[in-house]
Amino acid sequence: MRLYQGIDIVEISKIQKIMERNPSFAHDIFTDRERDYCRSFRDPYGRFAGRFAAKEACAKALGKGFLPAGIDHAFQEIEVVPSPSGKPHLKLCGWMAKICRKRNVDQLTVSISHASRYCVATVILLGP
């Protein structure tokens, strides 16, 4: 069995400042579904930060870092979608899904935690 793990921590205020200075950031990094979900909360920045951390953690687990933000839309190829209970799940497409297939990954898990100033996410990928 192969196990791949990634973790990332993000300061919520940093994401908020970036989004306020650069309105296109949300469109470059997050899918329509992610933006709608995050904006359904009174204070969306913690949700955005958590999803950003999850995308970074997933890229680390795959052994691929991001070069310039949004390169080839790779951030949008990792989508964090909530289940009806609110538990997050990863949905990969494009280049990121191809990397998973090459590594024979058949299980993906993500966990996101929020605190007052930070969000942390961990991703575990399993394959035979």
Percent of the chain predicted with pLDDT > 70:
94
Look up residue 68 and give its amino acid.
P
Q: How many CB atoms lie within 10 A of CB 6?
A: 23
Residues in the chain: 128
User: What's the pLDDT tens digit per position in 16-43?
Assistant: 999 999 989 999 999 999 999 999 999 9
DSSP class of 29: H
pTM over 0.85: yes
pLDDT at 121: 98
Does 12 score more than 70 pLDDT? yes
Does 50 score more than 50 pLDDT? yes
Does 67 score more than 60 pLDDT? no
Residue 13 pLDDT class (50, 70, 90 cuts): very high
The domain over range 2-127 is classified in CATH as 2.170.190.11:
no
User: What's the pLDDT tens digit per position in 90-124?
Assistant: 999 998 999 999 999 999 999 999 999 999 999 99
**For the sheet containing 2-11, what is the strand order?**
2-11, 118-127, 107-114
What secondary structure does DSSP assign to 59-113, as a single string?
Answer: HHHTT---SSTTGGGGGGGEEEEE-TTS-EEEEE-HHHHHHHHHTT--EEEEEEE
